[in-house]
């Protein structure tokens, strides 16, 4: 199995996605005896990587819904369907993570929703809801083509929450049935368009309540990471508020999370939140600017303007991305790991590219990294534009 598929599996698992190895004749069959148990519990990463070494393994699939951070997929199957939707929803099309499938004009568009959604059919595809299964890049389709990211999925925190009606009209929705040419789904448990449940804390606003629901752990071992995600989301709501003013909201989060967390003591949760809140450098949503920059920079007409000296596609992408981020003399931060995910390489290769650009006078370091103090390296793009 290719190294890029193994690296992608590690990245997706670390991101919090519920992934399974796929293969077989259809290239979509989960390589497990039964994948139903994994709708509730994630497969361990060593078992995923081991299965990907099988000769019949062709890729990776994700189980959508709560076990993947409330990530859902709008699948456009019919030729021209995605383009019609994108033309009518340009802002969403330019922002949401999107991959091409092996079908002609086939697209998967990824989004999040705070509640549990059912799988629903439409005349040109479907919305894959809770406990559905979707194959993702860089898997190989039965046609021989690879699933490829058009706008990459870099982090769950950067995937916007959307209303499912943004993806098709209610009139076009029908009951879902399993078919041979689509991934398997489960549609028995939830309504198509649920509403948010009422808050258990009357002082919590709808916006805060949404943050509490979105960051709920789905299994043990996620408490600290989800608390930090909660801190980022609360910072986005009101960055000026000190941590102590969020106590009611964090207590509501703790109460909701109790069935899923091993550490039950409220004092521990509160202490971890206060520490995490003090460490937040980027409130939720700030990372979306990076994906938007990548979408602009990786357009074919933009990549065509990159100097011909840089003949490797990943290097050309990095050049174009840094140029976009540095527009107007802006100073920007770009980690090697994030750069690698965006341009399709590992972080060591991205680090070498960035170092090369600094030596060639394309980039200049404006602030050196200071790891003990958790300070990042910032750059300016100084090549002619």
pTM metric for this prediction: 0.53
Architecture field, domain 3-172: 2-Layer Sandwich (3.30)
Number of other residues whose CB lies within 10 A of the CB of residue 170: 10
pLDDT for position 72 = 94
Distance CA 310, CA 126 (A): 40
Query: In this model, does residue 185 exceed pLDDT 50?
Result: no
What average pLDDT does the segment 338-364 reach? 89
In DSSP terms, 303 is beta-bridged to: none
Q: How far is CA 273 from CA 145, 148, 206, 249, 260, in A?
A: 45, 37, 21, 11, 17
Q: Is 265 a residue whose pLDDT tops 70?
A: yes
Q: What is the DSSP letter of 203?
A: T
Domain 288-381, CATH: 1.10.10.10
Q: Structural domain boundaries of the chain?
A: 3-172, 206-279, 288-381
Q: Quick one: average pLDDT of 52-68?
A: 92
The residue ranking higher by pLDDT, 104 or 367, is: 104
- Percent of the chain having pLDDT more than 70? 85
Interval 228-239 mean pLDDT? 86
Is the confidence at residue 34, as pLDDT, over 70? yes
Residue 385 has pLDDT above 70, yes or no: no
């Amino acid at each position: 199995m290719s190294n890029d598929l193994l690296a992608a599996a590690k990245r997706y698992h670390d991101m919090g996605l519920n992934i399974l190895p796929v293969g077989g004749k259809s290239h979509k069959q989960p390589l497990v005896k039964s994948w139903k148990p994994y709708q509730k519990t994630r497969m361990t990463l060593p078992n995923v990587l081991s299965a990907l070494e099988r000769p019949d393994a062709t890729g990776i699939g994700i189980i959508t819904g709560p076990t993947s951070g409330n990530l859902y997929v709008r699948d456009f199957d019919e030729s021209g369907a995605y383009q019609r939707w994108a033309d009518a929803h340009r802002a969403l099309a330019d922002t949401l993570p999107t991959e091409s499938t092996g079908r002609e004009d086939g697209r998967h568009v990824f989004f999040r929703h705070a509640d549990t959604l059912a799988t629903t059919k439409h005349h040109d595809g479907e919305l894959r809801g809770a406990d559905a299964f979707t194959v993702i890049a860089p898997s190989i389709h039965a046609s021989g083509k690879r699933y490829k990211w058009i706008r990459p999925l870099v982090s769950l925190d950067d995937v916007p929450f959307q209303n499912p009606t943004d993806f098709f009209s209610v009139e076009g929705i029908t009951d879902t049935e399993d078919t041979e040419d689509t991934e398997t789904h489960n549609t028995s448990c939830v309504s198509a368009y649920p509403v948010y449940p009422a808050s258990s804390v009357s002082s919590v606003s709808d916006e805060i309540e949404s943050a509490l629901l979105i960051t709920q752990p789905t299994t043990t071992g996620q408490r600290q990471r989800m608390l930090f995600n909660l801190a980022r989301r609360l910072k986005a709501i009101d960055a000026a508020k000190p941590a102590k003013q969020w106590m009611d909201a964090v207590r509501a989060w703790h109460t909701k999370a109790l069935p899923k967390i091993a550490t039950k003591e409220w004092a521990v949760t509160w202490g971890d939140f206060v520490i995490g809140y003090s460490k937040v450098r980027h409130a939720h949503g700030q990372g979306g600017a990076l994906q938007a920059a990548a979408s602009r920079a990786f357009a074919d007409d933009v990549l065509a303007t990159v100097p011909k000296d840089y003949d490797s596609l990943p290097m050309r992408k990095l050049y174009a991305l840094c140029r976009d981020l540095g527009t107007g003399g802006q100073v920007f931060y770009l980690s090697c790991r994030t750069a690698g995910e965006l341009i399709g390489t590992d972080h060591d290769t991205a680090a070498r590219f960035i170092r090369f650009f600094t030596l060639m006078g394309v980039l200049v370091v404006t602030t050196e990294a200071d790891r003990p103090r958790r300070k990042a390296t910032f750059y300016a793009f100084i090549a002619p534009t």
